[in-house]
Structures are given as C-alpha cells and as structure tokens.
C-alpha cells in the first residue's frame, strides 16, 4: 500500500475502469485503452466521472466525445455554469504525472498504469483479496435463501435442478450489469446449462444457483470503508433492473420519500450490511462499497421477505454516481438516473458517439443514452405507495 500525502498542486485523476469484473475474471490483460475499446458499454461508461468530478480534475479516457456533446453537458441548467473537468487520453504521460489516481475499482492494471506515470494510487494491493470479495461466491456467504447453493459439478447441478421447483437463476462469479446471469425455466435443456457452468468450473470458480424470486423492491446502500476501519454510509438508493438483472435506472432522494412504509426493511438491511463491511475491512479492504438488497414475495407463505445482502460490490457503482449527482445538484429532491433509447428528447449525460483525438468520424456509437429526471415529492410518495400496494 502506498503512502498517501497531500499536495496543493496535485490533481485528482478519475479513471472509470468499469471493465473491472472482466479483469477479475482474467479476461483482460491488455493496455487499458485497448481493453475498453472491446466493450461498447465500457467505452460509454468511461465518461461517468464527467458527472461527479470537480472542476479542475482530470478524467482519463480512451477516446473523446464531440465538442457538441461537451458544450451541451456544460450548459444543462442544473450545472449552474460550473465547468466540466478536463479530459486526457490514457496513453499520455505528462497530463497525469505526479497526480492522484482515483479508479472505479481497485485494479492491478490501473496500478501499473499509474506507476508508469509516477502517480499516487492509494488502494488495496492484495489482488487475490480484491478478486475474492468481489466474487458473487463471496456474497453468497450472506445469503438468506434456503434453496441457494454453490454448484461445482454436473452432478451437483443435476441434483439441485431436481430439488428446487420452479424457475431459477444461475450466476457466474463475475459479470457486468447482469450479463453473467442465466435464467432457467423448467423446459431448459440440461446441456445448455452445463455449457454455461463449465466455463466457470474450468476457471476453478463455482456457479451461484438461486431460486427465481418474485422481486418487489430493489435497493442498495453505498458506503466508504476508510483505511482506519471506519465505515461511513454515503446514502441509499432504489434501483431498477430488467428481468435478467441488468441495470436500468436509479432513484435517489430522501429516504422517507423513497422508502416510505418500507423504511423498516432498509434499517434491517443496514444492520446486516455493517457486519459485512467489518468482514471486508478485516480482509484488508478499504474504499467504496455498494451493497444490493431486495424485497421478494415468499412463494410458500406469500409474505414479503427481505433478502438483506444480495450482492457486494467493492467498487464504485452506478447507484453511487446517481447519489453524487443528487447530493451535489439536487439536495432534498428526488431524481432518477436511467438509460433510455437514443431518440429520447432529454439531454444525454454520456456521449452517443466517440472519436479519436483527430478523427472526424466516430469510432463507436451507442444505442442508449443516460438521462436524468427530476420528480416532485408527491409523485415519489405515490411511487412508494404503489410499490407497497403491489405486494401487500
């Protein structure tokens, strides 16, 4: 671990390595710019720090948005004229030399990149520990589902499929935005499931197997574990996913408006989360942590139950981005940060196309845009009440 020191002339350099899970799964070992260029979502998400970095900070990128996009983002009304941070290409040296690197997730690749540029990178460096705690198999130790299991062989898979009725879901240990999930229906052929699982088993990793849940309410809490072990709650969010668990959007605002009559479940989650955070620190981790939870209807009793720790993400998250936006620009209000089709009329918060520094033609285009909505307090209270009515 490097020594942290302060310098009045040191800039914060934000690096959104949202390919973090791919690195942990040993799928990436190329230079950062080349890695990001292989994944459209990572290429778009690299610009997330534009939404929360301070004026005067740097954002390290593998490509550039158009000046038209930057001007439009600069001029959205809620920014109130505050200038955007600057952009600099990852391959450069001098723009970054001697500054402080802040990455999305603690990364060996980023550590090497920062060292080459004589930067400060204050992060845990036990890479095996980082890999362990970000694996869904680590989150599994906190599961409250009776029929959940870690599957390590074809025999275990076959037995579990017969034992657990109804639809199910198989999860790889590392996956970005629900991409590593496989929903299993009764008619699913066994060979296809084996093919899915064997890719994990061949890497020495188990597959997380869970019964399909009638999800009612997804939420998360965002935390900071400080190097001295202090755990600070940054805030709570309600988030939306598609049927396969892929991220769609986040609602952020005062807890009483978002959770309403569900606040008791948030409080129960907070107690469970604090125990998990202690475990993370004891393993040597410090930094950002997002912990997901959900409410679901029990198929036997039809009662609503809390799944207090669904997944632990020892890194920054989309919910943290939404939380930062709300706390900086919309205090005491409720906002929704979500992906929408590219033709949506609302201003795009991330570029829809990117370029090399000198090119006139885009090297990559994106089908979805990230947009922000503001809500009146009364509408959000209706949202909470409707959620409650849906599952009582």
pLDDT digit string, tens, across residues 143-191? 999 999 999 999 999 999 999 999 999 999 997 665 678 999 877 888 9
pLDDT band at 4, cuts 50/70/90? very low
Tell whether 344 is covered by a domain. Answer: no
Within a domain: residue 367? no
pLDDT in tens, 291-324: 999 999 988 788 899 999 999 999 999 999 999 9
Please give the model's pTM, rounded to 2 decimal places: 0.92
Residue 340 placed within a domain: no
> Which residue carries 């997944």 as its tokens?
311
Q: Within this chain, do residues 67 and 25 fall inside the same structural domain, yes or no?
A: yes
* CA separation, residue 155 to residues 166, 173, 191, 197 (Å): 19, 19, 13, 12
CB 337 within 8 A of CB 366: no
Domain boundary among 167, 194, 211: 211
Q: pLDDT tens across 199-244, in order?
A: 999 999 999 999 999 988 999 999 999 999 999 999 999 988 776 6
Same domain, yes or no: 264 and 278: yes
Q: Does residue 204 fall inside a structural domain?
A: yes
Task: Map tokens 């799964």 to a residue.
Answer: 25
252 and 383 inside one domain: yes
Question: Any idea what DSSP says for residue 376?
Answer: -
Instruction: Taking residues 11-16, report their average pLDDT.
Output: 97
327-344: per-residue pLDDT in tens?
Answer: 999 998 999 999 999 999
Question: Could you tell me the residue range of the domain that residue 116 belongs to?
Answer: 1-123
Say whether both 269 and 152 belong to one domain.
no
139 & 183 share domain: yes
Distance of CA 278 to the CA centre of its chain: 21
Same domain, 203 and 223: no
Domain end call among 102, 123, 144: 123
Residue in this structure with the two tokens 């632990």, named with its chain if needed: 312
Domain boundary among 123, 149, 170: 123
In 3D space, the residue among 41, 31, 338 whose CA is nearest the CA of residue 176 turns out to be 41
Q: Looking at the DSSP assignment, which residues form a beta bridge with residue 238?
A: 219, 251
**DSSP classification of residue 44:** H
| Residue 370 domain-assigned (yes or no) | no
Sheet holding 86-89, edge to edge: 86-89, 58-61, 12-15, 100-103
27 and 154 assigned to the same domain:
no
- Please count the structural domains in the chain: 3
User: Domain check: are 203 and 232 in the same one?
Assistant: no
221 shares a domain with 204 = no
pLDDT value for 31: 85
- CATH code of the domain containing 156: 3.30.1490.20
User: Domain for residue 368, yes or no?
Assistant: no
Rg of the chain over Cα atoms, rounded to whole angstroms, equals 21
């Amino acid at each position: 671990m490097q020594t942290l020191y302060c310098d009045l002339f040191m800039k914060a350099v934000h690096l959104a390595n949202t390919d973090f899970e791919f690195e942990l799964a040993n799928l990436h070992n190329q230079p950062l710019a080349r890695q990001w260029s292989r994944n459209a979502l990572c290429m778009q998400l690299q610009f997330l720090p534009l939404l929360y970095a301070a004026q005067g900070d740097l954002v390290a990128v593998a490509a550039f948005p158009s000046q038209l996009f930057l001007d439009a983002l600069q001029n959205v009304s809620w920014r109130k004229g505050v200038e955007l941070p600057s952009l600099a290409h990852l391959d450069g040296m001098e723009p970054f030399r001697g500054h402080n690197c802040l990455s999305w997730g603690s990364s060996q690749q980023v550590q090497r990149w920062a060292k080459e540029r004589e930067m400060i990178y204050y992060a845990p460096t036990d890479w095996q520990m980082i890999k362990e705690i970000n694996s869904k198999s680590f989150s599994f130790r906190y599961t409250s589902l009776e029929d959940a299991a870690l599957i390590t062989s074809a025999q275990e898979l076959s037995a579990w499929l017969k034992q657990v009725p109804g639809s199910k879901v198989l999860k790889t240990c590392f996956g970005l935005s629900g991409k590593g999930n496989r929903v299993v229906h009764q008619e699913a052929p066994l060979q296809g499931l084996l093919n899915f699982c064997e890719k994990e088993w061949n890497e020495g990793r188990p597959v997380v197997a869970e019964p399909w849940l009638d999800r009612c309410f997804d939420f998360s809490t965002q935390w900071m574990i400080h190097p001295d072990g202090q755990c600070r709650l940054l805030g709570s969010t309600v988030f939306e996913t598609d049927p396969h668990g892929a991220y769609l959007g986040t609602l952020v605002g005062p807890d009483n408006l978002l959770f309403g009559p569900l606040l008791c479940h948030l409080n129960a989650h907070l107690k469970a989360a604090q125990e998990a955070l202690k475990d993370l620190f004891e393993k040597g981790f410090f930094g950002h942590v997002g912990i997901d939870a959900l409410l679901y209807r029990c198929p036997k009793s039809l009662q609503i139950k809390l799944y207090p720790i669904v997944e632990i993400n020892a890194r920054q998250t989309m919910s943290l981005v939404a939380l930062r936006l709300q706390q900086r620009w919309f205090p005491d209000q409720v906002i929704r940060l979500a992906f929408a089709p590219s033709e949506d009329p609302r201003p795009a918060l991330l570029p829809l196309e990117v370029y090399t520094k000198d090119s006139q033609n885009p090297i990559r285009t994106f089908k979805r845009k990230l947009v922000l909505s503001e809500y009146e307090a009364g509408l959000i209270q209706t949202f909470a009440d409707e959620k409650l009515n849906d599952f009582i």
